[in-house]
Amino acid sequence: QVQLVESGGGLVQPGGSLRLSCAARGSIFRINDMGWYRQAPGKQRELVATITSGGSTNYADSVKGRFTISRDNAKNTVYLQMSSLSPEDTAVYYCNAEIVRASVLGRSTQAYWGQGTQVGVSS
């Protein structure tokens, strides 16, 4: 089995910073793209940032210049450094990873989601 375990959420004041982490655990052959999504109350889940295995990144316009996604391939972990946070960033943040597993039957690729971590920005 594979699990994505998130950590780092919390409550911060506007202008503050937080760092989210998401570690993939289990039987993993390779991880392709990894990313962060968020869902605010009453809204649909939206993409925040993605990163390829080679380190190419993509950001939502709303977080460009404020958030930085990175990954440690040796640790199967993706990070989201968030700065200059505003109340509009309040949401549950989910990590996502496309994971390749190998078995005697061959390789299979599946997208996995973390359990979500709450980020609140309020004065």
User: Residues 79-86: what's their mean pLDDT?
Assistant: 98
Give the tokens for residue 112.
Answer: 């996995």
Q: What is the pLDDT of residues 46-70, one digit of tens each?
A: 999 999 999 999 999 999 999 999 9
pLDDT band at 105 (very low <50, low <70, confident <90, very high): confident
**CA dist., res. 117 & res. 123, Å (int):** 20
User: Residues 11-15: what's their mean pLDDT?
Assistant: 97
pLDDT band at 1 (very low <50, low <70, confident <90, very high): confident
**Mean confidence (pLDDT) of the chain:** 97
Angle in degrees, CA 34, 38, 89, rounded to 5: 125
